[in-house]
Chains A and B, each alone.
Chain A
Amino acid sequence: MSLVSQKVVLDVMSIRRDFPILQVKVRNEKPLIYLDSAATSQKPEQVITAEANFYRELNSGVHRGAHYLSELATDAYEQARARVAGFVGAKPEELVITKNATESLNLLAYAFSNQNSPLLLKAGDEILITEMEHHANLVPWQQVAEKTGATLRWIPITESGELSYESVEQLITEKTKVVSVTQMSNVLGTINDLDFLAERARAVGAKFFVDACQSVPHMKIDFAKMNADAIAFSAHKMLGPLGIGVLIAREELLDQMPPFLTGGSMIETVAMDKSTFAKAPKKFEAGTPNAAGIVATAAAVNYLENIGMEQIREHEKELTDYLLKGLAQISSVKVFAAEVAQRGSAVSFTVDQVHPHDVGQVLDDDGIAIRVGHHCAWPLMKKLNVHATSRISTYLYNDKHEIDKFLTSLERVKSFFGVK
């Protein structure tokens, strides 16, 4: 066990006290070491309380009814929207509340395959994504291509785990109508050069979209300064509740996009034979919304901002450096994208001759939670020439002691399965 010395970027001890689940014991009274935040983050008491308090004090339908509680709930809902928008440098009018980032991306993609949409693609048009996309930013675009006859292309990744920027010149052409890329790979942790890609997309008049699920929780994002038409992310990866996704898009784009779900709340007028729709973002929020969820998401934003996104990023960089150094010292362990220029805290690795499922099982026996499998990025697995990897991902509540325990447990994996 290494002696832990660290410059204090975050007061992790006091942060940990805010997260009730970190006190939970797992697998025969072992302390939980949660290293799976890229899948979903844990929630601080402040977020849990905010969600519960909505039901205790405000619960009623938003945007309907003239009664007192409904006014309060509506106010809380819209304030929360503004709070979350402000967190990423967007205007409240630009923020659509969905149920998860997958829905956000589907809503976006729908605008390019709907017959009545001014954005409808046609045969000969091209959609460009990357080889490191999560299925959520891949499958919806496959569907668009299938429905419209457009062609789906992707930017390959290099051996080192970065996008092949040199291939972009050939891939972004006059035919390209949509470029949709992840800001941070959920598997490799690689951070992509969005400025470069956005500039190329702009040059040919293509729309530029960003899957920001892995970036928004971990670094400061400013939509106003970003050269993007839309970004998508989810609350549950950034200390917020399950059941809330966000789509942020330029107003001109939102105006052009057709609604994906229709019904109550999203209309302007309704007659038996025809309806007109409300303005965005309400146009995209059909049905009774998850008001408690967005209120709790605003509480998560408050929490993150109190700590400071720069501090969180610094803390994670330090932890990730420490982790990568530790992994490099263990033989028979292969780390993917270990040397990329810019990276987040998700780190994928394999252990020679041991399937990731088995790696995860031994770690689990030591109370350590990691993710194993294809991470909803099956094509990337093929590219890496593996069927699956193990992934460790840290957040503001993790510390070096936990990394040490993880590394020790990894040695146990090797000895258990007889790896030299």
Chain B
Amino acid sequence: MQLESLYQEVILDHYRNPRGKGLRGEWQGESHQVNPTCGDEITLRVNLNRAKDQILDISYESQGCSISQASASVMYEQVNEKSLADFEKIFDEFYAMMQSQGKFSADEDLIGDGVAFIGVAQYPARVKCALLAWMAAKDAIGKATQ
């Protein structure tokens, strides 16, 4: 069934039990991203260490479809407390998979539960949903390190 490949159980689990959700304390960069086709949105904050090479916390408030919500949760799980160098690697891997129309076999060591989004990559209309939180994180980090 196509539908089950899109909504893998791990995605539905992140959707129902989002990790790291909620806006928290100190932060240096904030990003608000909207998907103008459906109105889904996320506000995401990033708190970096003093040297600005390490993520201390990513916090976010969001509303939207199961794919966008699960993706935010997976992103949090994978990149929180990582170095910015690692963030780049993880981001690039997930991004490449989402742009591959389902052809790119991503490294699970890098993106963890993110590999479950391979099915989403086959639905062009949903790729944006899956990338929303990731784009917000990249943008917020960009602002924090300016």
User: In chain A, what residue has the closest Cβ to B64?
Assistant: A355
Contact A388 B3 (CB under 8 A): no
B129 within 8 A of A: yes
Q: Which of A357, A365, A378, A417 has the most CB of B within 10 A?
A: A357
Q: Using a Cβ–Cβ cut-off of 8 Å, how many residues does chain B contribute to the interface with A?
A: 19
Contacting B3 at CB < 8 Å: which of A362, A373, A374? A362
CB B61 to nearest CB in A, in angstroms, measures 13
**Residues 342-392 of A at the B interface (beta carbon under 8 Å):** 355-358, 361-362, 365, 372-374, 378, 381, 387-388
CB A113 to nearest CB in B, in angstroms, measures 25
CA distance A372 to B40 in the complex (A): 12
| Chain A contacts for B146, CB-based, 8 A | none
How many A residues are at the interface, by size bracket? 10 to 19
Contact B40 A387 (CB under 8 A): yes
Q: Which of A358, A372, A416 has the most CB of B within 10 A?
A: A358
Contacting A355 at CB < 8 Å: which of B2, B41, B66, B123? B66
Contact B126 A374 (CB under 8 A): no
A279 within 8 A of B: no
Contacting A357 at CB < 8 Å: which of B2, B3, B41, B65? B65
B67 within 8 A of A: yes
Query: Which residue numbers of B lie inside 8 Å of A, CB to CB?
Result: 1-3, 6-7, 12, 37-41, 63-67, 123, 126, 129
Can you give 18 contacting A-B residue pairs, CB < 8 Å? A27-B2, A355-B65, A356-B38, A357-B66, A358-B7, A358-B65, A358-B66, A358-B67, A361-B123, A362-B3, A372-B38, A374-B38, A387-B39, A387-B41, A387-B63, A388-B38, A388-B39, A416-B7
Closest 7 A/B residue pairs (Cβ):
A357-B65, A355-B65, A373-B38, A365-B3, A374-B39, A387-B39, A358-B66
Query: Which residue numbers of A lie inside 8 Å of B, CB to CB?
Result: 27-28, 355-358, 361-362, 365, 372-374, 378, 381, 387-388, 416-417
